[in-house]
Amino acid sequence: MRSLLKYAVLVIGALGFAYPFLWMIAGSLKPEMEIASLGLLSHNYSLHSYEQVVTKIPIGRALLNSILVSFATTVSVVLFGSMVGYALAKLRFIGRNSLYMLILFTMMIPFQITMIPQYILMVKLGWTDTYLSLIAPTMMSAFGIVLFRQFFMGVPQALIDAARIDGCTEWGILFKLIWPLSRPVVLTVGLLTFMTSWNEVLWPLMVVRERTLMTMPQIVTIFTIGGEAETQLGSLLAAATLLSLPVILAYAFFQRYFIESMASTGLKG
């Protein structure tokens, strides 16, 4: 009896979290008249709402922009993050501890204080309305570096010493020896960065005005609040589906990595 109650609460909870997304996808396929109903099924599924979105906003281009920006950011955060993380964990050099302190300090600075000066920097560099403004300020992450450093501390020193005696360069050690051992941390940092970058919307709203350069969340935001969706709920749901389906699919495949990485870091996405 008690366990029945438990399951009831858990199932109601699961419905509460998942059903809105199912309703969104179903609604994006239903004709306008049927969306208001709570049910998912319809005899009149069509791609009409998607056609509406595609003709009203350059969403295909936005998809490409988002993929490009998120991909470039992720590669850069993982590449440079692992380099600095390796240096901090396994190499001795002047200023190593100060650098680590600096990185920890960076993590505590609220974005509120740097957002306006960072925007002005973009203006001064002439980077607004370019991909550079979307990618460059997030190319490295203090948080990523700290995660890499932590993981690399656990790599046995003997392994690295042996490779050095064999005449391996530090680059070789990092990319040929340590990287293959570090799949979990690479995946953790990579997934978190990709997700954060994909969902980022405040910064693109600040630095991009050109419609063809907008990212997915940005263009869907403009579409929603700018009145271009008019009163067509279907096209709004279609735009929201296009925005989130890639992340939902990635989540379906890497679900455990998403959850475990967030749990291990306590990071807010």
Rounded Cα distance, 250 and 184, in Å: 16
Identify residues 160-179 at the interface with other proteins (CB under 8 A): 164, 169-171, 174
Looking at 53-61, 81-89, 148-156, 179-187, which segment touches other proteins (CB under 8 A)? 81-89
Identify residues 52-71 at the interface with other proteins (CB under 8 A): none
For other proteins, which residue of 87, 134, 146, 178 counts as binding (CB under 8 A)? Answer: 87
Q: Which two tokens stand for residue 116?
A: 């306006």
8 A C-beta contact, residue 156 and residue 197: no
Binding mask 26-45 for other proteins (x = CB under 8 A): ----------x-x-------
Q: Least CB distance from residue 243 to other proteins, whole Å?
A: 6
For other proteins, which residue of 50, 143, 148, 258 counts as binding (CB under 8 A)? Answer: 258
Element (H, E) at 68: helix 59-90
Looking at 56-64, 67-75, 101-109, 148-156, which segment touches other proteins (CB under 8 A)? 101-109
Nearest alpha carbon to residue 228 among 240, 238, 218, 236:
236
Rounded Cα distance, 185 and 149, in Å: 10
Residue 140 phi/psi, 5° resolution? -135, 150
**Residue 127 lies near other proteins (rule: CB under 8 A):** no
Rounded Cα distance, 261 and 89, in Å: 20
Rounded Cα distance, 12 and 20, in Å: 13
**Residue 189 lies near other proteins (rule: CB under 8 A):** no
**Residue 253 lies near other proteins (rule: CB under 8 A):** no
Is residue 28 classed exposed, middle or buried when 0-12, 13-18 and 19+ CB atoms within 10 A define those classes? buried
Q: Least CB distance from residue 111 to other proteins, whole Å?
A: 7
Rounded Cα distance, 128 and 253, in Å: 35
Q: Under rule CB under 8 A, how many of the chain's residues touch other proteins? A: 90
Q: Least CB distance from residue 159 to other proteins, whole Å?
A: 15
**Residue 86 lies near other proteins (rule: CB under 8 A):** yes
Q: Least CB distance from residue 143 to other proteins, whole Å?
A: 12
Looking at 42-50, 94-102, 150-158, 180-188, which segment touches other proteins (CB under 8 A)? 94-102
**Residue bearing tokens 């208001």:** 36
Looking at 45-53, 55-63, 138-146, 175-183, which segment touches other proteins (CB under 8 A)? 138-146
**Residue 117 lies near other proteins (rule: CB under 8 A):** yes
Q: Which two tokens stand for residue 179?
A: 């990287």
**Residue 112 lies near other proteins (rule: CB under 8 A):** yes
Rounded Cα distance, 78 and 190, in Å: 6
